[in-house]
Amino acid sequence: LAPDGTAVLADCPPGAYTLKRVKEDQPSFLQWLAELDLVPGTTLVLSERNLQADTLTLNLPNQTSPVQISLPAAKSLLVIDS
């Protein structure tokens, strides 16, 4: 955990989290997150970690089906427990 109580999503076990901050400032990455409605304040459920494929499966409130994100992308997402 960081001093502000956040954790890197890529390092978290399955569970419910709230996105607090995005470390990456690349416009295309931020746009992709916005299209998923994965913005600070969003509550998400990390439902699966696939270490063979380097992906995490997330359930997001405004998505009808689970979303997979890469481990490198998840390293840019700082979360707190929900």
How far apart CA 9 and CA 56 sit, in angstroms, is 9
For residue range 35-69, what is the model confidence (pLDDT) as tens digits? Answer: 999 999 999 999 999 989 999 999 999 889 999 99
- Residue 2 pLDDT exceeds 90: no
Write a three-state SS string for 3-36. CCCCEEHHHCCCEEEEEEEECCCCHHHHHHHHHC
Is it the case that residue 3 has pLDDT exceeding 80? no
